[in-house]
Amino acid sequence: MNMDLQFLYALFLATSFMHGVHSSVFTIKNNCPYDIAPATLTSSGASVTTGFELAPQASNSINVPTPWSGRVWARFQCSNDGGTFSCKSGDCGSGQVACNGAGAIPPATLVEFTLADASGKDFYDISLVDGFNLPVSVVPQGDCQAISCPADINSQCPTDLAVNDGSGGTIGCKSACVQFNEPQYCCTGAYSTPQTCPPTNYSMFFKNLCPDAYSYAYDDPSSTFTCNTGPNYDITFCP
């Protein structure tokens, strides 16, 4: 950075501070025994880094200015053939480590946040509505509930939902909505209210393994968590 930029940056930080801009730190850790490439998608608020790689046991802390809402997931079995980055699981299709505003191609375990500014409530959840690709935990660094989907759902995935890597390994487990695209699984059409879209045997397969996580669209009562203190969050893949 040259001097002018340093000065402008200092000025920016100072004015941000005076205007009371708040932020939350996400510390994203790879506890899997292989490389992963976490990614984020911002749905409202300032955009943050959209992708990076983590070796086993590595972590990366990112600053998320609040209010913010968006999601975090992770890709694995990634390669960089001929300069195009892609992953067999959780890919976003950007061709780069950065997803640049593209979301996960299902199935992918999603960690979803709606973070308030200083005065409000944070909402967070783990969603398997688009299926599962990696176990994950979310631990607020404060007096708020830790949640996780620790099970290796891939190894137990029903064959009609499983995504294979081409050499016998299961690298994802689609939700019934993603796989069959039918109203009773997707809660659309005649099934578009919580009353008319009950759990199905497929959503219950996910719910039994990961009770904290959303297993289908109207799973709210047991799957949304709130926090009043605007904490930082530790997000660990393969907790």
Ligand X SMILES: *[C@@H]1O[C@H](CO)[C@@H](O)[C@H](O)[C@H]1NC(C)=O
Q: Binding residues for ligand X, per CB under 6 A?
A: 158, 201-202, 205
Closer residue to ligand X (CB): 171 or 176: 176
Nearest approach in angstroms of CB 202 to ligand X is 5
Evaluate whether 111 touches 235 at the Cβ level (below 8 Å).
yes
Contact predicate 199/207, CB 8 Å: yes
In the complex, least distance from residue 93 CB atom to ligand X, rounded to whole angstroms = 28
In this chain, which residue has its C-beta nearest to ligand X? Answer: 201
| Beta strand 84-89 pairing with 122-127 | unpaired
CB of 5 to ligand X, least distance (A): 56
Token digits of residue 29:
């850790």
Q: Give 167 or 201: the residue with its C-beta nearer to ligand X.
A: 201
What CA–CA distance (Å, rounded) separates 217 from 169? 28
- CA angle at residue 215 from 57 to 63, to 5 degrees? 40
Nearer to ligand X, 158 or 189 (CB): 158
At closest approach, how far in Å is the CB of 204 from ligand X? 8
Q: Which helix (H) or strand (E) holds 209?
A: helix 201-209
CA–CA gap between residue 62 and residue 177 (Å, rounded): 32
> 116 or 210, CB closer to ligand X?
210
Nearest approach, Cβ of residue 163 and ligand X (Å): 15
Beta carbon of residue 162, minimum distance to ligand X (angstroms, whole number) = 11
Toward ligand X, which CB reaches closer, 95 or 199? 199
Among all chains, which residue has been given the structure tokens 């999603």?
Answer: 110
Question: Minimum CB separation from ligand X for residue 187, in Å?
Answer: 17
- Over the Cα atoms of the chain, what is R_g? 19
E strands, 174-232, in order: 225-227
Instruction: Name the residue nearer to ligand X (CB basis): 56 or 158.
Output: 158
Beta carbons of 111 and 69 less than 8 angstroms apart: no
Nearer to ligand X, 44 or 159 (CB): 159
Determine which helix (DSSP H) or strand (DSSP E) holds 80, and give its type and residue range: strand 68-81
The residue among 92, 60, 59, 56 whose CA lies nearest residue 75 is 92
